[in-house]
Amino acid sequence: MCEHGAARSVIAAAYFNKLAKEKNLNYQAAFRGTSPDSTLTTATAAGLIKDGFNTTVWKPLLVARADVSAATQVVTFDCSPPFESNKPAAKWDGVPAISKDCNVARNEILKYVQLLIQDLEKKK
């Protein structure tokens, strides 16, 4: 989850789902925003398309209590869920803005995602 649900959380979910599928892990990520934009940022969509993702139907959505309740793990980027939860949460704060350098931001997000995937593989 990120504030606008249009950049950092989108990249994290895209790469998480790709890596989880490659590792045969039964997990799936969703991206959400606490104050969602109407579309993905231009830089986010362009970067993901360049990396082979089809973002055509991806749209930022408002995080709902049901999303958090259904989650195994909650990840936030420089924001907090708009309600209390007892779900495990990870704060991936301080990732550079996608608009400044999409590749740098993507690479930092990917490091976090790879660590999370490694932790989930250990639980397999």
| pLDDT tens digits, one per residue of 19-65 | 999 999 999 999 999 999 999 999 999 999 999 999 999 999 999 99
Share of the chain above pLDDT 90, in %: 86
Is residue 85 over pLDDT 90?
A: no
Overall size of the chain counted in residues: 124
Residue 8 pLDDT class (50, 70, 90 cuts): very high
Task: State the Cα–Cα distance between residues 106 and 8, nearest whole angstrom.
Answer: 8
pLDDT tens string 90-111 = 999 999 999 999 999 999 999 9
**Residue 28: strand, helix, or coil:** coil
Amino acid 86: pLDDT: 86
Is residue 82 over pLDDT 90?
A: no
Task: State the Cα–Cα distance between residues 7 and 1, nearest whole angstrom.
Answer: 10
Report which residue type is found at 58.
Answer: W
Superfamily classification of domain 8-119 = Response regulator (3.40.50.2300)
Structure pTM? 0.95
CB proximity list for 20: less than 8 A, separation 6 or greater? 26, 27, 28, 29, 117, 120
Q: Which two tokens stand for residue 11?
A: 């990249």
